[in-house]
């Protein structure tokens, strides 16, 4: 890694004086648009959350932190958190580990690895809505094959997306097929493990599945950890699949916290409460993200 030397800093300083305008021109567009689309909107969101929002004469009556208090006392709010954590937990159990396993085995393949890895890419480019169409059909209570499969094991037919106990499971389940860019990311990490380590392992008699467990896996744990945190941050904000699969239903059984906000906003036009919840979500996300950035930093150093 080449760091800036003292000579170059001196050169830069001279340039700096010569043309103070240049950095401003380079940086202004980015700073400005970031301010408009993130900081202004965030503060405006916070401002709205302090009001009983009135669409006819915004922002309406100032109520302080009453919206926050309302939400903390609202059982639906806590239920949405519960659903959100259920999403995180099920993603962890059903889908998170799949690309890791796929990548580990893909790395053990000699001939044809290129073809297999290309095929693994494809699920990433299937539009989400197309996936939703087919999985909704697979889980269709009457015409779907999911009931045929459970019938094969002697279980009674289910209503899947309409079943309060199964709806979150059914939204997460399609992720179990894995594939996508994640596999390639893990694969490149595995291939980045130095040959010396592998050779040493072989000399020590560590081969076959043992090598996967004791050498390969521990050597990519860092990437797994970062991906895990990214997955959790992403799943905490899960919204699109909920809209596409179930619209939060049945009842509010699959309403994640982001969907809860969406519902307050788009269905009930209750902007004050919606933004109050969004801010509480932001707090949680901020903590998670700072952990992730810290980890990223430490890997780079």
> Could you tell me the smallest distance in angstroms from the CB atom of residue 133 to another protein?
5
SS3 208: coil
> Any bridge partners for residue 61, and if so which?
52
> Could you tell me the smallest distance in angstroms from the CB atom of residue 264 to another protein?
10
- Could you tell me the two tokens for 32? 């400005």
Between 123 and 165, name the residue whose CB sits nearer to another protein: 123
> Could you tell me the smallest distance in angstroms from the CB atom of residue 163 to another protein?
19
> Could you tell me the smallest distance in angstroms from the CB atom of residue 19 to another protein?
8
> Could you tell me the smallest distance in angstroms from the CB atom of residue 119 to another protein?
5
CA distance 95 to 174: 8
- Could you tell me the two tokens for 10? 């001196």
User: Quick one: DSSP state of residue 57?
Assistant: S
Between 82 and 210, name the residue whose CB sits nearer to another protein: 210
Cβ neighbours for 45, distance < 8 A, ≥ 6 positions apart: 275, 278, 279
User: Closest Cα to residue 107, out of 227, 177, 191?
Assistant: 191
Between 110 and 156, name the residue whose CB sits nearer to another protein: 110
Between 172 and 184, name the residue whose CB sits nearer to another protein: 184
- Count CA atoms closer than 13 A to 160's CA, side-chain side: 24
Between 68 and 271, name the residue whose CB sits nearer to another protein: 271
The full length of the chain comes to: 301
């Amino acid at each position: 890694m080449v760091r800036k030397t003292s000579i170059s800093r001196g050169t830069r300083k001279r340039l700096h004086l010569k043309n103070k305008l240049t950095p401003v021109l380079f940086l202004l567009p980015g700073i400005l648009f970031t301010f408009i689309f993130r900081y202004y909107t965030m503060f405006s969101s916070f401002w709205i959350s302090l009001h009983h929002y009135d669409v006819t004469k915004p922002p309406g009556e100032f109520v302080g932190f009453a919206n926050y208090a309302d939400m903390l006392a609202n059982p639906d709010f806590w239920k949405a958190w519960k659903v959100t954590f259920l999403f995180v937990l099920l993603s962890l159990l059903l889908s998170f580990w799949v690309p890791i396993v796929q990548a580990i085995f893909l790395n053990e393949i000699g001939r044809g690895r290129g073809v297999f890895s290309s095929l693994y890419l494809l699920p990433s480019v299937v539009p989400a809505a197309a996936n939703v169409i087919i999985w909704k059909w697979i889980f269709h209570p009457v015409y779907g094959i999911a009931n045929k499969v459970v019938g094969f094991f002697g279980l009674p037919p289910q209503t899947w997306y309409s079943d309060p106990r199964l709806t979150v499971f059914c939204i997460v389940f399609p992720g179990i097929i894995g594939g996508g860019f994640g596999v390639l990311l893990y694969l490149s990490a595995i291939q980045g493990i130095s040959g010396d380590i592998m050779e040493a392992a072989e000399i020590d008699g560590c081969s076959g599945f043992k090598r996967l467990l004791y050498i390969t896996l521990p050597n990519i744990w860092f990437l797994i950890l970062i991906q895990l945190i990214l997955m959790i941050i992403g799943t905490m904000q899960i919204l699109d699949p909920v809209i596409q699969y179930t619209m939060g239903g049945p009842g509010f059984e699959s309403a994640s916290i982001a969907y809860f906000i969406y519902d307050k906003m788009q269905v009930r036009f209750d902007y004050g409460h919606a933004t109050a919840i969004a801010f509480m979500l932001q707090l949680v996300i901020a903590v998670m993200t700072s952990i992730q950035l810290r980890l990223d930093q430490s890997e780079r150093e």
